[in-house]
Amino acid sequence: MKEEFRTIAKKLVDQMTVEEAASLLRYDSPAIERLGIKAYNWWSEGLHGLARAGTSTVFPQAIALAASFDNELIEKAADVTATEARAKYNESRALEDRDLYKGITLWSPNVNIFRDARWGRGQETFGEDPFLTSRMGVSFIKGLQGEGKYLKTSACAKHYAVHSGPEALRHGFDAKASEKDIEETYTPAFHAAVKEADVSGVMGAYNRINGEAACASKKFIQDRLLKDWGFEGYFVSDFMALADIHENHGITKNAAESAALALNTGCDLNAGITYRELMKAYEQGLVKEERIRDAAVRVLSVRASLGMFSDDCEYDSIGLSAIDTDESNELAYKAAVSSTVLLKNDGILPVDKNKIKSIAVIGPTTTSITVLEGNYNGTSSRYITNLRGIQDAVNPGTRVYYSEGCHLFEDKIQNLALNDDRLSEAESCAKASDLVIVCVGLDSTIEGEEGDTGNAFAAGDKTSLLLPDPQRRLIDRLSKTGRPMILVCNTGSAIDFSEYEDSFGAIIQAWYPGQAGGRAMADIVFGDAVPSGKLPVTFYRDGTQPPIEDYSMAGRTYRYLKSEPLYPFGYGLSYTKFEYSSLKVSGSTPEDIKVSVRVKNTGSADGEEAVQLYLDKLPGEKTADGLDPENQPVWSLAGFKKVSLKAGEEQEVTIALYPDSFDTVLEDGRRVRLNGRYVIYAGGHQPDERSEKLTGTKCLSQDLTI
């Protein structure tokens, strides 16, 4: 935080009564007219485009953006989000509309680790890997906050820190995690957000962490965030999380005690109503005036950094014309293409339009706008559904048949016959067509946040990794037609396709792809675009994961998985081939290690490739007191870069490694740098047997001694 903004804030707070200072610690902060401070509602969202504020550009969901493995793309999407937020803010305040979702403090990104494929909010994250999440988070934060004199918008990293379900229990759940897992997996992305991106906000989680409420944790807020990391921004509770401290966690007796505990521990701003009891806590001697004023300075410094108390902010002139532009629409399309992951292709893709006279597009996500959006979304004026995308892309005269096929999930109110009342229509359409595109998946009415739109299953979490029963019955019916089929899956999480994988010539993981999702999917199907997405999460076989309540990383994510995955982290096919050669490592210390590798597009199509580096940090011969060799990552993602290569083109790609990639975390959470041999791998996927089998390629490797 620039000192000039803190000076502005302190000068204002020094003129306030203690009651006025305390009022600023509410998310719905009232005006203090005598000091020229306007009412301000802190709650605004910008997860993958400006959310809940009317018309905006809807980018692919966060998990899809992570699948792009493209930092520059992520930052551009965040910049558009910030521009549209500024435009809405400027227009709204001109009309004295200061309600929620009209501000420029965006409570994004979500940098929690998607440790369990059943977690409904995993779609909001950048995946299961702390390095990928850190890089994506830093780029997204920089895009939101900009590089001007003032912040374009204020970003907020959430939900600090050990938080990833279960949704149904989150308000009273105690997430028990080891010191090793906390340091190695759960906190690195938050550390990067603070130390590298200078994020201006951090939001706490609902749950407890090893007994302490996340929004009132001395260990995580005071000791780690403020003292160790030197965080200078504001800390905000999740909505109504402070009420959980007395109502569900049972740590305090009432709201006044919860307000005092949270404020004294470092929670500056309350999303909820608990800080309405702050003055009562003050009068009871539970909090001191000095702490109230300190928190007020912290939150007001953020508002000052956004130019709220100045007349020279470079973003004040952004207006309505900056929203929903042709340029932002094209970026949303590019993001949808770049994030699409081709999981299987037996040669059926790309489809030659000239050889297809009829296509059946079948399934419950075919015409759905909801599956384009994901959760925490805006509203687009330019939605292109899966069906619309195919209809727009085919040659004139090609017949496109459509059938819903089945309901998205089992409607328990209706009988089975009504749930399957479109099966015969779907079969007829399939039999009448040269090609069948089956569009299945979930949406935010099934997976998402607890309490959102009455999620159909476990408060937003999935109960299994299988598609809902009606969709599986539809696939079974269509499989019997013998027609060539392509599966398009719209979900925000991993699905187990293994029982019907052989029924499809190709499987496309399209996620919740944003407003241009149908166009992107159709262009990929017909070869007008080339897929380049890589999985930011492991696709497991159903029934192989530990209980969702278990926060140990053992058996979770590609780094600790013992069983073979269905589709591995980092995996994704293309329509072209990339050949790797000449792997070189330069530098002699972790601070100056650079890896270079030559990548050549040996296929006939232009394409993009996500070059990935993995580091084996414990080949076996290293030891240290407090180190458990059996509880170490197999290897870890240590670098990546998205490159674009024309057919036949070759390029040398150089990636600098982060020094902490060479750290080993001991059981007590301490980081150590062990001397010895390391192995660096380079390729278009991780160096596991399953990826090698699916792609037919192996990673290059080179030893390195530190």
Confirm if 391 and 60 have CB atoms less than 8 A apart. no
Compute CA 20 distance to the chain's CA centroid, rounded to the nearest angstrom. Answer: 37
539 bridge partner residues: 567
Nearest one of 202, 265, 275, 272 to 236, comparing CA atoms? 202
Q: CA-CA distance, 295 to 605, in Å (whole number)?
A: 56
What is the SS3 assignment for 68-97? CCCHHHHHHHHHHHHHHHHHHHHHHHHCCC
Q: Six-digit token pair at 664? A: 């080993």
Q: Of the residues 183, 238, 277, 523, which is catalytic?
A: 238
Q: Of the residues 79, 427, 443, 447, which is catalytic?
A: 447
Confirm if 437 and 390 have CB atoms less than 8 A apart. yes
Nearest one of 188, 59, 64 to 536, comparing CA atoms? 64
Contacts for 182 with CB less than 8 Å, ≥ 6 apart: 161, 162, 669
Confirm if 440 and 471 have CB atoms less than 8 A apart. yes
Q: Six-digit token pair at 695? A: 């792609």
- Percentages (nearest 5) of helix, strand, coil residues in the chain: 35, 20, 45
Task: Indicate the angle between helix axes 130-145 and 71-94, nearest 10 degrees.
Answer: 40
| DSSP annotation string for 357-373 | SEEEEESTTSS-SHHHH
Could you tell me how many residues make up the chain? 706
447 catalytic residue (yes or no) = yes
Nearest one of 502, 364, 356 to 433, comparing CA atoms? 356
State which amino acid sits at residue 282: Y
For the four alpha carbons of 5, 8, 12 and 13, in that order, the dihedral sign comes to positive
Helices (H) and strands (E) in the chain, counts: 20, 23
Return left, alpha or beta for 676; rule: phi > 0 is left, psi -120 to 50 is alpha, else beta: left
Return left, alpha or beta for 397; rule: phi > 0 is left, psi -120 to 50 is alpha, else beta: left
Nearest one of 393, 394, 390, 418 to 402, comparing CA atoms? 390
| DSSP annotation string for 459-515 | TTB-SSSSPPHHHHHHHHHHHTT---EEEEEE-SS----GGGGGG-SEEEE--S--T
Confirm if 597 and 683 have CB atoms less than 8 A apart. no
Q: CA-CA distance, 586 to 609, in Å (whole number)?
A: 23
Q: CA-CA distance, 700 to 687, in Å (whole number)?
A: 9
What is the SS3 assignment for 637-693? EEEEEEEEECCCCEEEEEEECCHHHHEEECCCCCEEECCCEEEEEEECCCCCHHHHH
Q: CA-CA distance, 422 to 386, in Å (whole number)?
A: 18
Give the residue numbers annotated as catalytic, written as ranges. Answer: 238, 447
